[in-house]
Amino acid sequence: GGERWMVEAERAYDWFFGVNDLGAALADGDEGECYDGLTWAGANFNQGAESILSFQLATCAMQTLVRSAVHREQSDRSKAG
């Protein structure tokens, strides 16, 4: 629940969208698709089930983290005021 871990979760999630050593986006958030990983030349364009499921589970986890953060902020505001 700490801020540090939210930052780390976002950093890890951003890897799917090109914040990686090659700057190669592996996921398409609109379509829910994900390539298998990185090769020395860029994205591996296979789309195996494990890659797609990893991306979709990461998306669900990030949505849960964001909702929890919003809930905490709202709770803190109501207590303060």
The pLDDT value given to residue 21? 93
| Burial category of 73 from C-beta neighbours within 10 Å (exposed 0-12, middle 13-18, buried 19 and up) | exposed
The string of pLDDT tens digits covering residues 8-41 is: 999 999 999 999 999 999 998 888 889 999 999 9
Query: Is the pTM value of this prediction over 0.75?
Result: yes
Chain centre to alpha carbon of residue 9: 7
**Distance separating alpha carbons of residues 16 and 39, to the nearest angstrom:** 14
Name the strand (E) or helix (H) holding 57: helix 49-80
- The model's confidence at residue 1, banded by pLDDT at 50, 70 and 90, is low
